[in-house]
Amino acid sequence: MPPAAAWLLLAIDPGRAKCGVAVLDGASRVLLQRVVLTGDLVTALQEIVAIHPPAMVVLGDRTGQEAVAEAVRQALPAVPVELVDEHHSSLEARRRYFAEHPPRGWRRLLPSSLQTPPVPVDDWVAVILGERYLAQRG
């Protein structure tokens, strides 16, 4: 296996309307994260892999997984795809979002569990899925 920094993982949080996408290296460093419309996923993947060619794709195992897996296999036929358990990943993504973007003003007085992030956190879910995969594989 190549050095951890040279090996790239593409992680996708599938969804019917939008998908979270993240690229991590073998040391779990996040190189890219974004939310894309599911209909634009193939185009986005082509742009991403031109810059960050992955050795592996991991995909969340819940909502919209079948259609997204098929799109990924068509766009990246030579790259293996594995499913990752998404259990509680959305809650973890909300916590990570607020850790990176702490509420300001009067919102900082509210517990983050009572707040909704102002933007979709599907990209954070993708990061978490990638980290889970890397942690499982050692």
| CATH code for the domain in which residue 87 is found | 3.30.420.140
Is 83 a member of any domain? yes
Is 3 a member of any domain? no
Statement: residue 38 has pLDDT above 70: yes
Is 1 a member of any domain? no
* Domain extent at residue 121: 8-137
Name the percent of the chain lying above pLDDT 90.
83
What is the average pLDDT across 120-127? 98
Contact assessment for residue 55 and residue 8, using Cβ atoms and an 8 Å cutoff:
yes
What is the average pLDDT across 32-44? 96
Strand pairing category for 81-84 and 30-37: unpaired
Contact assessment for residue 28 and residue 134, using Cβ atoms and an 8 Å cutoff:
yes
Q: Which of 66, 30, 64 is nearest to 48 (CA)?
A: 30
